[in-house]
């Protein structure tokens, strides 16, 4: 692939894990990278790692919560400062505040999960789109999940958030096509990073994953970063509106079962029997 010299990019959730790996892939190929997130110290530590790995690339940080529209507006403007334009965005900020049966879910946790994944991506897209259009080569990449495509037992709120994120990206691709802005999303499967450490350490949830992954291994943040780099760059100039799995083939089969994590927290609840009867 050709380099990304002259590109200015923004990566939300760039302080660790998948977001940092996406930023690293962009910086390695010469792009200016702005990473944003809610924790300043984490961002600065990530930025130091990125600068050490790609000393010729500009790496800057901006502290922002993607559910705060004013903060997103500032982050987008900051990302355009190195070149006066914005060519690519990887919206990696996301996560879940709930794990367990939907019938026992806390309403506030579900709302916060949907807000983070759907509204956070929407706000990032809303404020980045005009600059991406002006660049003439703008690309927006949402980071979704296999859980937004297939059911993962006890990850219902997260799955709904990812499915909503994917739909935001698909509709935006349709609407922004005339402006030559490409919009796609990635659907990672299980990734070996700090957020998944409790699973990748071993046990029934990991087994549930591996038995449904044809390549029979967990993914790496680099696997996802490489796809983000491709979708931002000119090599993917005729790809838009796609939700692309990067999951070792798990989407050919089915999602994982998080029951081993949910049961200790909920088994004493009367409604727990609704999701266990017959098993």
User: From CA 251, how far away is CA 120, in angstroms rounded?
Assistant: 25
Q: Do the Cβ atoms of 155 and 99 come closer than 8 Å?
A: yes
Buried b (16+ CB within 10 A) or exposed e, 203-238: eebbebbbebbeeeebbebebbbbbbbbbbbeebee
Query: Which residues of 135-207 form beta strands (DSSP E)?
Result: 139-143, 182-188
Among 7, 158, 209, 258, the one annotated catalytic: 158
Residues 6+ apart with CB under 8 A from 204: 257, 259, 260
Residues in the chain: 279
**What residues contact residue 252 under an 8 Å CB cut-off, 6+ apart?**
214
Please name every residue paired with 219 in a beta bridge, in sequence order, or none if there are none.
191
Cβ count near 131 (within 10 Å): 21
Question: Known catalytic residue: 258?
Answer: no
Angle at CA of residue 109, ends 184 and 196, nearest 5°: 60
Say which DSSP state 151 is in.
Answer: -
| Cα dihedral 173→123→41→146 (10° resolution) | -50
Residues labelled as active-site residues: 158
């Amino acid at each position: 692939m050709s380099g990304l010299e002259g590109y200015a990019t923004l990566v939300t959730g760039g302080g660790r894990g998948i977001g940092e790996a996406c930023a690293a892939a962009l910086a390695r190929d010469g792009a200016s990278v702005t990473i944003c997130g809610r924790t300043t110290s984490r961002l600065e530590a990530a930025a130091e790692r990125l600068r050490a790995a790609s000393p010729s690339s500009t790496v800057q940080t901006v502290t922002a919560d993607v559910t705060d529209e004013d903060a997103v507006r500032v982050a987008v403007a900051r990302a355009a400062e190195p070149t006066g334009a914005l060519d690519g965005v990887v919206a990696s900020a996301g996560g879940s505040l709930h794990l367990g049966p939907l019938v026992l879910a806390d309403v506030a946790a579900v709302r916060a999960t949907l807000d983070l994944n759907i509204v956070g991506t929407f706000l990032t897209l809303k404020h980045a789109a005009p600059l991406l259009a002006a660049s003439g080569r703008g690309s927006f990449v949402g980071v979704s999940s296999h859980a937004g495509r297939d059911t993962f037992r006890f990850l219902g709120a997260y799955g709904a958030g990812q499915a909503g994120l994917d739909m935001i990206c698909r509709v935006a691709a349709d609407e922004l096509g005339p402006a030559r802005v490409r919009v796609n999303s990635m659907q990672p499967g299980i990734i070996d990073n700090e957020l998944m450490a409790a699973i990748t350490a071993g046990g029934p949830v990991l087994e549930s994953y591996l038995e449904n992954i044809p390549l029979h291994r967990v993914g790496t943040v680099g696997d996802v970063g490489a796809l983000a780099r491709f979708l931002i760059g000119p090599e993917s100039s005729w790809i838009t509106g796609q939700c692309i799995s990067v999951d070792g083939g798990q989407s050919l089969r089915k999602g994982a079962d998080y029951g081993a994590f949910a049961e200790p927290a909920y088994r004493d609840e009367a409604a727990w029997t609704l999701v266990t009867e017959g098993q």
